[in-house]
Amino acid sequence: MGEKPVPGFVEELRREFPQVEFREAATPADKLREIQDADVYYGWIPRDVFLAAKKLQWVQIPGTGIDHVLSTVPELVDSDVVLVNSRGPHANPIADHVMGMVVALSHQFRRLSEDQKAHRWDGAAYFERFLELSGGTMGIVALGDIGSAVARRAVGFGMRVLAVDKKPVRPPQGVEAVWPVEKLDDMLRQSDWVVVTAPYTKETKALLDRRRIGLMKSGAFLIAVSRGDIVDEAPLVDALKSGRLRGAGLDVTAVEPLPDSSPLWDMENVIISPHVSAYTPGTFSGRREIFKENLRRALANRPFLYVCDKKAGF
């Protein structure tokens, strides 16, 4: 067990799986000691712990993105150890967060909040300043679990929805089209809202670079909730400062925590959250349920849920 301890979880596992021996490992020394005989590791495995393992068969990451563990433990990629993530429970809360940012930006909730703090009632300041979502176009970069959940909500708001994805995907109900990544430029030109839900890989690093940010519609918005390095922040800042992009919602940034010196902090047209969009009780309990289900599957010699492609990076 390599995740932050959850009170009662190990006891719960021991009751439910009496045939399995569970050991908690909270400190680096604990992890190095306990990994010697471990078949399974649940948590974010450090490189020295992975290299010290002798019997390890599978690692379950209690999250969605696997880029960090693959970059810090490169030996994992070519090993026989199965890597599993816990992506299912994240989709709905992250999609809710996306739509919260969309509504907050379109109706200037940040400015409204400042007015409330100042006890300022100034309706004239907002005259014709809000945007209707219905009839607008949302473009989603990657239509996986999170992207699909965002699409469902956007359709519910009456938006036209486009998407690009690396894999051929049949458009879900209400989604106009799912194009290959080669048509990303076309999607950017048409979208009032661009939502980044793609995993971070070699192919997606700086996918939205200066050229592509330059292709976005004048007055468009960018929302990023998967990984910050997918968006080149310098041209994003330039586009926001110039007003060519109307706003951005960022739950992820290239460097985390976002440095104090970043101009993004002080931009009135930017909403920042500290990589917390999935932080609901259901997400964390869902991660643990996936681990338990995969234990059942391992004991029954059945395929795991959410096996990752270590070479593809997701």
Same domain for 139 and 62? no
- The confidence score (pLDDT) of residue 5 equals 62
- The confidence score (pLDDT) of residue 2 equals 45
Q: What are phi and psi of 283, to 5 degrees?
A: -65, -50
Is the predicted pLDDT of residue 18 greater than 80, yes or no? yes
Mean pLDDT of 127-149: 97
Is 305 among the domain residues?
no
Q: What is the domain-level CATH number for residue 204?
A: 3.40.50.720
pLDDT grade for 3, boundaries at 50, 70 and 90: low
Mean pLDDT of 139-165: 98
Is 19 among the domain residues?
yes
Is 310 among the domain residues?
no
Same domain for 127 and 253? yes
Same domain for 97 and 227? yes
Active site residue ranges: 275
Is the predicted pLDDT of residue 4 greater than 70, yes or no? no
pLDDT tens digits for 162-216? 999 999 989 999 999 999 999 999 999 999 999 999 999 999 999 999 999 999 9
pLDDT tens digits for 88-125? 999 999 999 999 999 999 999 999 999 999 999 999 99
Q: What are phi and psi of 82, to 5 degrees?
A: -80, 135
Mean pLDDT of 134-145: 97
pLDDT grade for 83, boundaries at 50, 70 and 90: very high
Same domain for 79 and 141? no
Same domain for 80 and 96? no
Same domain for 158 and 74? no
Is the predicted pLDDT of residue 63 greater than 70, yes or no? yes
Same domain for 101 and 194? yes
Is 130 among the domain residues?
yes
Same domain for 258 and 130? yes
Is the predicted pLDDT of residue 32 greater than 70, yes or no? yes
Q: What are phi and psi of 130, to 5 degrees?
A: -85, 160
Q: What sections of the chain are H helices per DSSP?
A: 9-16, 28-34, 47-52, 67-72, 91-106, 109-117, 145-156, 184-190, 210-215, 233-242, 281-299
**Residue 122 is encoded by which pair of tokens?**
């100034």
Same domain for 285 and 216? no
Domain containing 77: what range?
9-86+280-299
pLDDT grade for 77, boundaries at 50, 70 and 90: very high
Compute the distance between CA of residue 187 and CA of residue 176 in angstroms, rounded to an integer: 11
Same domain for 196 and 294? no
Residue of 239, 244, 269, 224 whose CA lies nearest to 111: 269
Same domain for 243 and 131? yes
Is the predicted pLDDT of residue 246 greater than 70, yes or no? yes
Is 77 among the domain residues?
yes
Q: What are phi and psi of 246, to 5 degrees?
A: -80, -30
When the pLDDT of each residue in the chain is averaged and rounded to a whole number, the result is: 96
Is 28 among the domain residues?
yes
pLDDT tens digits for 250-280? 999 999 999 999 999 999 999 999 999 999 9
pTM above 0.85, yes or no: yes
Is 285 among the domain residues?
yes
Helix (H, G, I), strand (E, B) or coil at 162: strand
Is 306 among the domain residues?
no
Same domain for 40 and 137? no
Q: What is the total count of domains within the chain?
A: 2
Q: Report whether 208 contacts 180 (CB < 8 A).
A: no
